[in-house]
Amino acid sequence: MDPIIATDAAEIAAHAERELEALVAVSSPSGDVAGAEEAVALCTALLPVNASVERPPCSTPGCAPDLVARIPGHGARRLLLVGHLDTVFGHDAHEPLRRDGERLYGSGGADMKGGVVLALGLARTLASRPEAFAEVAALLVNDEEWRCADFAHLERFAGYDACLCFEAGERTADGAEGVVVNRKAAGTLRITAAGQAAHSGSAPDQGRNALLALAQAALAVSALHDPTGPERRSVVPTVIRSGEAFNVVPAAGELVFDVRADRLEAFQQVVGAVPPNADGVALAPSLLRRWPPMDTRSATEALIARAASRIGRPVTGIRRGGASDASHFAAEIPLTIDGLGPRGGGAHTQGEFVLAPSLRERAEVALAIALEALGQ
């Protein structure tokens, strides 16, 4: 392994577990302004001393402003580091970090506060070598887990040479370090139902049952689920709401699907599968979220191979189905690589964890890729 990478990764890892413990201790569910501000304050304290800090508006109205840190250098290339501070856990479900063997359990540790800690460690390391870059910027957002609005930060980083995102890492089946270079497009389909209320005991057939209509729509749209097909499209109903009383025919409701595919265009068939009417209930579909796909396999292949040679073990570009802010940047910054965070598991569950040894191992991967992206 490149001795500089070995030394610097060990330094990052020496602080990473304690920094992760501090960051996971902050409960920061999407949309919670106080939690976001506490997390931003902690991350600001972990930045290199010469970083300038901006607080641009979040893409989602009502959320705390995002964090942008810029570190000036004397080199030629500009590098963007991306992460998010929000989690899917409400305050009542939040759990602080605890160690069980090599596993570090805690809310949002893998998705993606562990990655944020590595990104900040990388920023500090690079800041000590200003001759290696023109600028290193870090973008930490507060709404990644639930954003439906348009992403607000593309223009801010136009012309950057590379983008590294720190969602959780993984190993491939053959043991290589996996980094993400291909993601599906992501969409959120919402179907609203407008029926007619009636007494469910004395006059049930005078009503128009929104719940039954949504159930029919759920089956019709789910028929387009085809993750092994040509579009690799997944269509998964995730939320249904209807009815307010046990003895009233529900007059309204909504149904939500999570939709993924290789192309955004594949979503149109899903929207078209929603019947306009079911047993007298009007159904209206809308796409609340349209995140683009990411495919930087060709642009990053040689860079990843060079990074692998620097750490002396295989690094492989992989596909992943989950959405990420890296997808927004990939079309504008061809050298975009994701999945640079630590390895772990159980994301979005109470069993979420980070593998402690991977903090150093993934710091090595991130350092090698960052140095190659900067031409160092």
Give the CATH superfamily of 3-184+293-373: Zn peptidases (3.40.630.10)
The pLDDT score that the predictor gives to residue 150 is 92
The pLDDT score that the predictor gives to residue 349 is 94
> Is pLDDT of 2 > 80?
yes
DSSP 17-65: HHHHHHHHTS--BTT-HHHHHHHHHHHHHTS-TT-EEE-PPPSSTTSPP
* Residue appearing with tokens 């209509």: 213
DSSP state, 211?
H
What value, to the nearest 5°, has the Cα angle with vertex 215 and ends 211 and 217? 115
Q: Strand, helix or coil at 188?
A: strand
> Is pLDDT of 220 > 90?
yes
Query: Which residues, 6 or more positions from 228, have their beta carbon under 8 angstroms from its beta carbon?
Result: none
Tens digits of per-residue pLDDT, 126-185? 999 999 999 999 999 999 998 989 999 999 999 999 999 999 999 999 999 999 999 999
The mean pLDDT value of the chain amounts to: 97
Task: Tell me the residue type at 33.
Answer: V
The pLDDT score that the predictor gives to residue 322 is 77
Q: For residue 243, is it left (φ>0), alpha (ψ between -120 and 50) or beta?
A: left
> Is pLDDT of 323 > 90?
no
* Residues comprising the chain, all counted: 376
CATH 3.30.70.360 is the classification of domain 185-291: yes
DSSP 142-178: S-TTT--SPPS-TGGGTT-SEEEE-S-BEE-TTSPEE
pTM for the complete prediction? Answer: 0.93
* Residue appearing with tokens 């993400």: 180
* Residue appearing with tokens 């801010």: 156
User: Over pLDDT 90: what percentage of the chain?
Assistant: 98
Tens digits of per-residue pLDDT, 229-257? 999 999 999 999 999 999 999 999 999 99
User: How far lies 200's CA from each of 210, 250, 321, in Å?
Assistant: 13, 9, 43
The pLDDT score that the predictor gives to residue 321 is 81
Lowest mean pLDDT, pick from 34-43, 234-243, 313-322? 313-322
Mean pLDDT of 33-57: 98
The pLDDT score that the predictor gives to residue 6 is 97
Domain boundaries, the chain: 3-184+293-373, 185-291
Cis peptide leading into 112, omega within 30 of 0? yes
Q: Are 165 and 119 in contact (CB under 8 A)?
A: no
Q: What are phi and psi of 6, to 5 degrees?
A: -60, -45
